[in-house]
A and B are shown apart, each in its own frame.
Chain A
Amino acid sequence: MDTQKNEILKKMKSMGVFWALVVLFLVGCIASPQFLKAGNMINVARQISINGIIALAMTFVCLIGGVDLSVGSQVAVYAIIMATMMKNNISPFLAIPAAFATAMLIGFLNGLGVSKGKLAPFIMTLGSMTALRGLAKYISNGSPQSWRNTDINIKFIGQGYVGFIPFPVIIFIILFLAAFYTLKYTSFGRSVYSVGDNKEAARLNGINVPRTQLICFILTAFGSFVSALVLTSKLSSADPTAGDGYELTALSMCYIGGISTMGGVGSITGTLIGACLLTVLSNIMNLVGINSYMQNIVQGLIVIIAVLLGGLGGLKRKKKA
């Protein structure tokens, strides 16, 4: 009976963030007449997708008990590669695959350091975060890269619409569904949860732990690549400082959504809700004209409060058991 009660408690806890989002939504409606307007909603959706794409991939790394701090720097590298090539009149059909190949290589190296090198993910990606930021600045000589050649038109990826839905939002939805399916219905998804819960038990169950870790870091590289593509095509240029702080935003979304920092527990739906919550919050604050410094304060506190509430739920459960 007690365990059943725990289950219910746990469900309520995961629903807690969802209810917080609902409340926030209502607050938005009251606080600003602009909030519910179609234009604003579409804007919010587009915002969610840019950071959310990385958060989706980050969820996999978090679930195996890791973290990828390098995603922001990765975004800059891929964006700079694409923009620099296109500035030199190289076709996007070459520039985009080149950035993609770089992403696979970087993801592979991050994953290799963690899985074979046995480095803590924090340390491995702390190193690559710094190095890759340097790389982006080195390639671009520290200045933004943009192209004037009007033959090169990839604006659709970042700015296009399908009906009234922005194309990046379509990308985000597809990736979300793919991640949802992978985590819930494939053996790779199970490996991810299994490695995050108990590495040794996973090994004894015949799960290839290093391979699982490697793939997760390739996924964050892929997420960073897609994000870079959306960003670059939207602006027709890239800045070597692009993506600064994306890693923290993505991690915030995961943790708010209930992914355990220890790994093994959480769902991609949680990350989606976390992403919505953070983005809607910042949208509302923009609409009512809250000072951007104050916005940072609120965003930071929200992360702490969300995880604290989650942790308290856990504590209560423990006491009961």
Chain B
Amino acid sequence: MLRMNHISKEFPGVKALNDVSLTVENGDIMALVGENGAGKSTLMKILSGAYEMDEGELWIDDEKIENPTPAKMIEKGVAVIYQELMLLPHLSVAENIYNGRYPKNKYGKIDYKKMNADAKAVLDKLHLPVDPEEKVVNLSVARRQMVEIGKALSKDAKIIVLDEPTAVLADSELEGLFNLVRALSKEGISFVYISHRLKEVFELCNKVTILKDGCFVESGPVEDYDTDKLVARMVGRVMTDIYPEREHVIGETVLKVENLNREGVLHDISFELHRGEILGFAGLAGAGRTETLRAIIGADPYEKGEITYFGKKVKFGTIKEAVDAGIGMVPEERKLQGLHLKHNMIFNMTLPKLSKYSDKFGTISPKQEKKVADEYVDLLQIRPFNSEIITTNMSGGNQQKVVLAKWLASDCKVLFVDEPTRGVDVGAKREIYEILNSLLKEGLSILMVSSELPELIGTCDRICVMNSGRITGVLERGEFTEEKIMSYATMEV
């Protein structure tokens, strides 16, 4: 039995958790729900020992755990299985399960025979028909996830945290995972299950704990809830608040894509983007949303299709051509693709259009750069108020503002934003939406890819829903509902 009592955790500038409690009995399958930024991951990182808590107590069975560290928590039987699996793809299943604690013979040589036999026993227990000597890279994502669970069990895990396990699974693969979780819970193993798909919460879990903005909302048996009640508790009043009002004034077509095709990835993608509009792209992971953006800006090739940009037929061969034509890209992975983390805000903001700060000989004026960067720091309320701060030291929300400021400063006409508020706290989210609104007012057009349905519903004028590389439906503002979007997103094609 796990008890986390009155846990608080503060990051510089953000109260990530404020007096949150969580109790999981043996054999429970506890759903932990809340919006992005509600504090679920932070709470689980405290449980796994990755983060230190500022206040609160952590009890497992009847033992109070002092100063939890990752090693200590594993020893106490806590296992966290992340969405990005931690397996080493080029090692075998058995080697992964026993990674770091290989059985050895008396000369110190790894005892492969014993390891494979032990792994086989673990896999059999899970009714998993996998050869322990198979390399992990050859397994499906679903199988890999089960191997992770097997690894946890081999370490005598009593409490297993599943962080969004189904985001990467196809519907047909869900049942196997659910059956496994149910069977293990009957043996007394507890699960904490984090998912954005509420349907699964009702299908799998017996209890639910709701968090919002780092605070504990309530906890109870799943039978006491239906979807509406759960959403209402999760979202609270913030739902109406977080998306700022704006006028929806739609102008002429600026970007027209017709029958875009890329072998095995995109099939007959056609849509139009208008001036002053946010066009959303919804769909599950791997539906082809990001790939569509990348094909348009010349990051990936495409075989067939026509793109008309401000009335002219174009085919961008490189991203540079797209950027020069006025298309900006706010990528999905801010840190990996969006920012130069070793450099300051000024460097980042001026990079796409340095000619703006240069004289006719191409000499850049650092003074001019700083002036413009300072303007945007002020305009977008980027904190800290110092454009010479190295961006790696900034919070996620403020980093994202730097990425947006970069394209603002570069006079772009069309902005592609991919998961614009991922990993951003609720307050900064609203500010980012406000920035997007002010861009629209200036006559820009925005293409937004997002996995958060409330975000798409709250901000878009129209939503294209994709599945398996096809657009399966287009919804107009007014007919947006999560159910409709999800039904298109999971439609058979």
Contacts and interface: CB of A to CB of B under 8 A. Distances in A.
Interface string B350-370: 011011001000111010000
Contacts of A286: none
B177 to A, nearest CB: 32
Given A3-B384, A4-B386, A187 B362 contact: yes
B383 to A, nearest CB: 11
A193 B347 contact: yes
B393 to A, nearest CB: 4
B313 interface: no
A204 B336 CA distance: 11
Interface stretch (B58-66, B267-275, B322-330, B451-459): B322-330
A317 B362 CA distance: 35
Interface in A251-304: 260, 264-265
Contacts of B384: 3
Contacts of B338: 201, 204
A196 to B, nearest CB: 8
A149 interface: no
A193 B389 contact: no
A3 B340 contact: no
Contact of B320 (A4, A197, A206): A206
A204 B331 contact: yes
B339 A198 contact: yes
B329 to A, nearest CB: 5
B352 A205 contact: yes
B388 interface: yes
Given A193-B347, A204-B337, A204-B338, A187 B322 contact: no
A165 B295 CA distance: 57
Contacts of B362: 186-187
B347 to A, nearest CB: 7
Interface in B406-427: 406
B364 A185 contact: yes
Contacts of B354: 187, 190
Given A3-B389, A205-B351, A206-B352, A186 B364 contact: yes
Nearest to B325: A206
A264 B392 CA distance: 13
Contacts of B351: 190, 194, 205, 207
Contact of A207 (B320, B337, B355, B389): B320
A3 B320 contact: no
A210 to B, nearest CB: 10
A201 B319 contact: no
A3 B393 contact: yes
A186 B386 CA distance: 23
Given A204-B319, A206-B320, A3 B352 contact: no
B390 interface: yes
Nearest to B331: A204
Contacts of A265: 342
Contacts of A2: 12, 393
A145 B32 CA distance: 78
A187 B352 CA distance: 10
* Leading 4 A-B pairs by shortest Cβ distance: A206-B323, A187-B354, A197-B340, A206-B320
Nearest to B353: A206
B409 to A, nearest CB: 12
Contacts of A118: none
A201 B392 CA distance: 14
Interface in B376-401: 384, 386, 388-390, 392-393
A153 interface: no
Contact of B343 (A4, A181, A184, A193): A193
A190 B339 contact: no
Contacts of A264: 340, 342-343
Nearest to A3: B393
Given A197-B340, A204-B329, 16 more contacts: A3-B389, A3-B390, A7-B390, A186-B362, A187-B362, A187-B364, A190-B354, A194-B340, A198-B336, A201-B339, A205-B323, A205-B352, A206-B324, A207-B320, A264-B343, A321-B392
Interface size class of A (residues with CB under 8 A): 20 to 34
A203 interface: yes
Contacts of B355: 187
Nearest to B340: A197
14 contacts: A181-B363, A185-B363, A190-B351, A197-B341, A197-B342, A197-B343, A198-B337, A198-B341, A200-B337, A204-B337, A207-B351, A208-B318, A265-B342, A321-B392
Contacts of A3: 384, 386, 389-390, 393
Contacts of A206: 319-320, 322-324, 352
Interface of B: 12, 299, 318-320, 322-324, 329, 331, 336-343, 347, 351-352, 354-355, 358, 362-364, 366, 384, 386, 388-390, 392-393, 406
Nearest to B327: A206
Q: With a 10 A CB-CB cut-off, give which of A186, A198, A207 has the most chain B CB atoms.
A: A198
B301 to A, nearest CB: 14
Interface in A180-222: 181, 184-187, 190, 193-194, 197-198, 200-208
A6 interface: yes
B360 to A, nearest CB: 13
B340 A198 contact: yes
B299 A6 contact: no
Contacts of A205: 323, 351-352, 406
Contacts of A203: 299, 319
Interface in A1-59: 2-4, 6-7
B393 A321 contact: yes
Nearest to A317: B393
Contacts of B337: 198, 200-201, 204
Interface in A134-180: none
A201 B334 CA distance: 9
Contacts of B390: 3, 6-7
B330 to A, nearest CB: 9
A313 to B, nearest CB: 14
A204 B318 CA distance: 10
A185 B361 CA distance: 10
Nearest to B358: A187
Contacts of A193: 340, 343, 347
A265 B341 CA distance: 11
A207 B353 CA distance: 10
Contacts of A201: 331, 336-340
Contacts of B358: 186-187
A197 B319 CA distance: 18
Given A3-B393, A204-B329, A264-B340, A190 B322 contact: no
A198 B338 CA distance: 9
B339 to A, nearest CB: 6
Contacts of A208: 318, 320
A262 to B, nearest CB: 9
